[in-house]
Amino acid sequence: MSNRMMVTGAGSGLGREIAVRWAREGWRLALCDLDEARLQETLRLVQAAGGEGFIRRCDVRDYSQLTALAEACQSQFDGLDVLVNNAGVASGGFFSELSLEDWDWQLSINLMGVVKGCKAFLPLIQQSQGRVINVASMAALMQGPGMSNYNVAKAGVVALSESLLVELRGLGVRVHVLCPSFFQTNLLDSFRGPTPEMKAAVGKLLESSPISAADIADYLYQQVLVEAFMILPHEAGRQAWEGKRRNPEPLYAEMAYMADRMRAKAAG
């Protein structure tokens, strides 16, 4: 029976809801995050939902912390069936305003954190012929203005997931990549960018979502059951992606217009 999952960024938002959704099916959860108090609360919710597990403070930028966590999964669960690389941070700002430090910070968490998670846990996942679920974003597919470092990190997560999908299929490992549009979580707390206006704009977008983190976790659960690879939980996101693949030019025009408006607003 497969019932052992590890979730990064499980102290908040989507990571917490994914843990709780799988806990409802009686799964055992290894929960990691930077914030231990929030992890305690997630563990409480997991137990209330019918699951069990353990928590571990772990920074996904630190490969040695991830390999130590993989060892803890081996000793406490005797292996692992599903790896969820969810931890992430928000950023924004026009390319001209972003510093190289902004790029390093964003890529070190949202892209390299996923690469390191896969590297550290793949031996366990290969052993169980389990699954990898990587959390990317619609940003990976749409490349909206004013967030190039986030777009690139998330596009990298999609590319990594697609690479693993084909490399690992023959070994019995399944791969999924989740691409949500904006939804309300604590993501804004981690926001890093050159201007407060950009942070406020991202905050408005998070509030605008018609669906919650719990809805997205449930959609993910259902789509994993039917073996979907690229999982787009927002209806508007699915439509936009279909439209872009058919003909990207109208979308580029809309995005360029959005960029002009953002620049004009920032100029006052």
Ligand X SMILES: NC(=O)c1ccc[n+]([C@@H]2O[C@H](COP(=O)([O-])OP(=O)(O)OC[C@H]3O[C@@H](n4cnc5c(N)ncnc54)[C@H](O)[C@@H]3O)[C@@H](O)[C@H]2O)c1
- What residue ranges bind ligand X (CB under 6 A)? 8-9, 11-15, 33-35, 38, 58-61, 86-89, 109, 113, 135, 137, 180, 182-183, 185-187, 189-190, 206
Question: Among residues 63 and 266, whose Cβ is nearest to ligand X?
Answer: 63
H or E element: which one contains 61?
none
Beta bridge partners of 32: 8, 56
Residue among 224, 198, 220, 202 at smallest CA distance from 211: 220
Rounded CA separation 219/213 (Å): 10
Minimum CB distance to ligand X, residue 20 (Å): 13
Three-state DSSP at 55 gives strand
Catalytic annotation present for 219:
no
Q: Edge to edge, what strands does the sheet with 230-231 contain?
A: 52-57, 28-33, 4-8, 82-85, 131-135, 174-178, 230-231
Question: Among residues 126 and 239, whose Cβ is nearest to ligand X?
Answer: 239
Catalytic pick among 150, 219, 252, 257: 150
Question: Among residues 235 and 260, whose Cβ is nearest to ligand X?
Answer: 235
Contacts of 2 (CB under 8 A, 6+ apart): 81, 82, 128, 130
Rounded CA separation 245/201 (Å): 27
Rounded CA separation 224/174 (Å): 9
Residue among 144, 146, 139 at smallest CA distance from 97: 146
Question: Among residues 63 and 197, whose Cβ is nearest to ligand X?
Answer: 63
Residues forming the active site: 150
